[in-house]
Amino acid sequence: MVDLIVIGAGPSGLTAALYASRAGASVLVLDGGAPGGKLNNTAEIENYPGVIKKGPELAYAMYEQCLSFGAKYEYGEVTSIEVLDDHKVVHAGDKAYECQYVFIATGTKERVMGVPNEAEMTGRGVSYCAVCDGPFFKNKEVCVIGGGNSAIEEAIYLADIVKKVHIVVRRDVLRADQYLADKINTKDNIEMHYLKKPHAVIVENNKVAGLEVSDSNTNELSVIEVQGIFPFIGLDPMTDFVKNLGIVNERGYIEVDRNQETKVSGIFAGGDVTDKALRQVVTATNDGAIAGQYIASLMK
Ligand code: NDP
């Protein structure tokens, strides 16, 4: 039995673990991947005040810092949380962990386009991580799909690596912040394709050969010849394992109060998985700090 189980080792989970363990709680962090969450897929962090670092470096610093206060870390894909009268049980694979409090910080996962050949070619030309797979496309052309901050940030990153980046946007405007939109003009190897929707991944000789797009107004089909496809069309919260607890809203995000507590007493949540206006590293760490400190205060 530990005081607190943190589910998800991104910035929010690691900060909750840091604050709670530093305040004397016994803490176990469970994650189904490497510590750091989405930081690991982020090239450069520019808007976490006072810190300009590569994402994986910041992730590792946060991880080491929370372990230094006694938090433990284990690999574990959590499948459910059982709420008993006087404690909780967190199930991960064939293991069950007992605790007083739970902090859920599982974040979001990338939305897929849902077009023919996308699933088959994932990892073989279709990728959801520019930092991980961009270097495979040196001297090649790639498509980035989406007009939000993620798509534009990743396109700018890819433009420094690949021969040419085509950005496919379904409307005639970007959703991204203006400062990012302005950066597109600093790259002469980015071509914009407005009013185009992804329709199919074109495969030739078992390799990606292009993206078929349909015109948003006329539905006319055309092909953009590329060897790599990077969809960044939004995110969905990772909350399937808590749907039975009645703590998520209609869009699947977890609702919390000012202490980051859900309506199930003793279950807290923070970071991108919660219903909030701004999903950033700085707001994720904010949530983790509030919950970690509050949980530690409940034990006194
Ligand atoms: P967003 O939801 O902000 O943008 C998704 C983009 O994909 C939109 O342009 C949307 O078009 C488009 N899209 C959605 N579905 C489809 C589809 N089926 N086919 C084609 N296009 C589609 O998601 P992001 O992942 O960009 O960002 C998520 C959150 O993270 C945001 O709050 C963002 O601000 C934040 N973020 C902040 C960063 C920063 O500040 N540096 C960096 C990265 C993310 P439409 O506009 O028409 O809906």
Q: Which ligand 1 atom minimizes the distance to the CA of 113?
A: 18
CA of 121 to the centre of ligand 1 (A): 22
Residue 300 reports pLDDT greater than 80: no
E strand segments, 55-193 = 72-75, 78-83, 88-92, 95-104, 108-110, 141-145, 164-168, 190-193
Centre of ligand 1 to C-alpha 292, Å, is 30
Q: Name which residue sits closest to atom 18 of ligand 1, judged by CA.
A: 113
- Classify 12 as helix, strand or coil: helix
**pLDDT for the residue 30:** 98
Q: Which atom of ligand 1 lies closest to the CA of 278?
A: 32
| Strands of 207-215's sheet in order across | 196-204, 207-215, 221-224
Give the residue-averaged pLDDT of 6-23: 98
Contacts for 37 with CB less than 8 Å, ≥ 6 apart: 8, 9, 10, 11, 13, 31, 59, 105, 107
Q: Choose the residue to mutate in 39, 111, 150 for probing ligand 1, maximizing ligand atoms within 8 Å of C-beta.
A: 150
Output the furthest CA–CA distance in the chain (Å, rounded).
66
Active site residue 133: yes
Q: Is the pLDDT assigned to residue 11 strictly greater than 90?
A: yes
Instruction: Determine if residue 117 is left, alpha or beta; phi over 0 gives left, psi from -120 to 50 gives alpha, anything else beta.
Output: left
**What is the structure's pLDDT at 294?**
98
66 is catalytic: no
Q: From ligand 1's centre to the CA of 77, what distance in Å?
A: 27
Q: CB under 8 Å to 54, separation ≥6 — which residues?
A: 42, 43, 44, 45
Structure tokens at 228: 């790599």
pLDDT at position 41 over 90: no
Tens of pLDDT, residues 181-227: 999 999 999 999 999 999 999 999 999 999 999 999 999 999 999 99
Q: Is 129 a catalytic residue?
A: yes
The one catalytic residue in 3, 31, 66, 133 is 133
Ligand 1 binding residues, C-beta < 6 A = 47, 113, 145-151, 153, 170-171, 175, 197-198, 232-235, 279-280
pTM for the model: 0.84
* Contacts for 181 with CB less than 8 Å, ≥ 6 apart: 152, 174
Does the pLDDT at position 44 exceed 90? no
For residues 91-107, give the mean pLDDT: 97
Report the C-alpha gap between 218 and 223 in whole angstroms. 15
Q: What is the DSSP letter of 48?
A: E
